Structure 1
Amino acid sequence: MDRERLILLHHCRGVTWKVLNHFVALGSLETVFQLTSTDVMELTGMKRETSDAFIHDRDRLCSKEIQHFYHKHDIHIHTMTDEKYPPLLKQIYDPPWVLYTKGNQEVLNNPNTLGVVGTRHPTREGQLSLQRVVTPLINDGWVIVSGLAIGMDTQAHELTVRNDGSTMAVLGSGLGCVYPKQNEALALRITHKGVLVTEYPYLVQPQKWHFPQRNRIISGLSRGVLVTEAKEKSGSLITADQAMEQGRDVFALPGSLLNEYAHGTNRLIQEGAKLVLGAQDILDELTVKDWAKMEY
């Protein structure tokens, strides 16, 4: 795969994962640079306005300038064929064609990763339960993966940073548009030992539909996903569903029947998720030995 052309195309307006999939299927990305706007419409289903914008960007963007920009901002670019592309993420059905990462790159290849997701309105009990279960894993060198959202995501990242651990924060925006704004300082702290990860170019603003897409990366980077507190209709349950589709283990913290933020986790347990009372329950399922046998 032509790495430079892939990165350039990824910065063009109108390009999504599916559009890039169509381009890659042509066999050579050089062919994409010979397509007319009408050709692109027929190949990808783009509307004329979007296709024209794509052609404009394709013909005017400069690969060397793009590479220089990211180097200047100390951001690493990983395509699917690169050596440091996370091996776990490469296993899923729809891995990002391009990843942009900032921070400790070695974390991307740590084999011990646990996704942590939950409500944006955690209870005190939920936060203490998270601390009790996850802290031993952090101290044992496990990488905590979450989405930098307010609430339980923030708690998971903060807990890891406070315990001098490594965490991956998966963004639903470009690295130049960290969302939510109040977590910009946390994002900077994460890069000291952990890493920020996104499939979106630097200046892409967060959009509502980005977050379900981001969730597949959280689960894809993780050997298992722990759902802490969640309502019955929750974005955290989307992540749990994606984790199951990707063949990952799903864990859930049980909660009171009177706590609406435990309804989703209790339902997950009822449907087969592993009930977690402590860190050992997770370790019993995610053994290094089993995953060491897998071919990436």
Structure 2
Amino acid sequence: MLNNRDCLIYLYEETRISRKKLHQLVGTGHRSYYHAIQSDALDLARFLSVKHRTLLAGALNNPARIARYTSLKRTYKTWTVLDADYPDVFRTIPDAPIVFYGLGDVDLLKTLKRISIIGSRQPTVNVKQRMSQLLLPLVSDYVIVSGLAKGIDSFAHQLACTNGGRTIGVIAGGFNHPYPYETRAQFHDMCRNQLVISEYPIDVKPERYHFPERNRLISALGFATCIIEAKRKSGTMITADQALEQGRIVMAVPGDILNPNTQGCHDLIQQGAKLVQNTQDIEEEWRENKVMWKSINNK
């Protein structure tokens, strides 16, 4: 029989049932999810169809699959919503991860000063210079969070790694399938020396819909999300919307008005995002919001 924590991980990995359904299972308060599913407890019918209940019961009635799960040698950290060390920042967002995984220095999730840096995968030529000027004064004090994509994400991680800083990468597939190819070496280095997290079991390949799911975790982890460059229609702009939905601060760096890569930033500034021209603008926002952010981190 699996305890509740193992039952959540097992069902998540083996059946790929939705986070919403598993959150509802947790919300029932059953002392044993295993027994509740096996006995087809009446309250499960409120949110699980017959098909879903049959799927879950079938997985729990499969000794070979359970044996494979219990014998798996995990070289990575696994968190569930039932764990005392599950990050409180995730508990504050809609559709929080029910299970997620980490490789590297897991204590980085306990660091208070974290800022999310996102932007275009195909940035303009001078963006590295602008990012260095803006972020280098921060890397000794802040954990830089980004998505390990090529372009601005990759350079944000690189700035931290090569200047004695700390960084967290959030990926859109399992650890056995780092993506994209261009950042694989960086992925492996960060798994050893920084932290990489994923919401997906290790053998799951990245899918298109995983990226907006991944992005909500990037924005959740930072006290603010700073957009360096973004087109009007882009994943970066979706992340900015997610940050606002989560009650996080959104910052944007202005640029050339003729550059399509900066149009998204200008739109955000017009809509009330913090205009970031220098490092002091970020530090000012931290000073004004650190008490609020501390309360979110220690719910």
- Which consecutive unaligned segments of at least 5 residues does structure 2 have? none
Change (3 A) 1:203 1:176: same
- Which consecutive unaligned segments of at least 5 residues does structure 1 have? none
- The aligned counterpart of 2:115 is 114
CA distance in 2, matches of 1:138, 1:25: 40
How many residue pairs were aligned? 289
Shift of 1:161: 1.0
- The aligned counterpart of 1:32 is 37
Q: Secondary structure at the match of 2:72?
A: helix
Change (3 A) 1:13 1:293: closer
* Cα contact 1:251–1:273 (8 A) shared by 2: yes
CA distance in 2, matches of 1:179, 1:107: 22
* Cα contact 1:175–1:201 (8 A) shared by 2: yes
Q: Secondary structure at the match of 2:108?
A: helix
Alignment of 1:194-209 (within 5 A): 194-209=194-209
What whole-Å deviation, never above 9, does each CA across 1:98-141 have from its counterpart, x for those lacking one?
1100000110111111111111101122222122111111122x
Q: Secondary structure at the match of 1:114?
A: strand
* Cα contact 2:37–2:57 (8 A) shared by 1: no
Alignment of 1:54-65 (within 5 A): 55-60=57-62, 65=68
CA distance in 1, matches of 2:169, 2:226: 15
Q: Secondary structure at the match of 1:272?
A: coil
- The aligned counterpart of 1:11 is 13
Amino acid at match of 1:125: N
- The aligned counterpart of 1:79 is 80
CA distance in 2, matches of 1:81, 1:132: 41
Shift of 1:54: 5.1
Shift of 1:285: 0.9
CA distance in 2, matches of 1:144, 1:279: 14
Alignment of 1:161-172 (within 5 A): 161-172=161-172
CA distance in 1, matches of 2:29, 2:189: 41
Q: Secondary structure at the match of 1:77?
A: strand
Alignment of 1:244-259 (within 5 A): 244-259=244-259
- The aligned counterpart of 1:150 is 150
* Cα contact 1:14–1:54 (8 A) shared by 2: no
Amino acid at match of 2:72: F
- The aligned counterpart of 1:175 is 175
1:69 to 66, 69, 72: 72
CA distance in 2, matches of 1:252, 1:244: 13
Change (3 A) 1:70 1:138: farther
Shift of 1:87: 2.2
Q: Given the alignment of the two structures, is residue 263 of structure 1 paired with residue 263 of structure 2, yes or no? A: yes
Shift of 1:292: 3.2
- The aligned counterpart of 1:98 is 99
Q: Given the alignment of the two structures, is residue 123 of structure 1 paired with residue 124 of structure 2, yes or no? A: yes
Amino acid at match of 2:186: L
Change (3 A) 1:208 1:108: same
Q: Secondary structure at the match of 2:264?
A: helix
* Cα contact 1:240–1:250 (8 A) shared by 2: yes
What whole-Å deviation, never above 9, does each CA across 1:20-44 have from its counterpart, x for those lacking one?
12322333223124449xx989844
Percent of residue pairs identical: 34
Shift of 1:229: 0.5
* Cα contact 1:84–1:108 (8 A) shared by 2: no
CA distance in 1, matches of 2:238, 2:121: 14
What whole-Å deviation, never above 9, does each CA across 1:30-81 have from its counterpart, x for those lacking one?
3124449xx98984458x5x8766554443365574355353xx20011123
Shift of 1:248: 0.5
79-88 or 198-207, which deviates more: 79-88
Shift of 1:2: 1.7
Shift of 1:194: 1.6
Normalised by the length of structure 1, the TM-score is 0.89
Change (3 A) 1:62 1:252: same
Shift of 1:5: 0.9
CA distance in 1, matches of 2:73, 2:223: 29
Normalised by the length of structure 2, the TM-score is 0.88
Change (3 A) 1:254 1:208: same
CA distance in 2, matches of 1:109, 1:135: 22
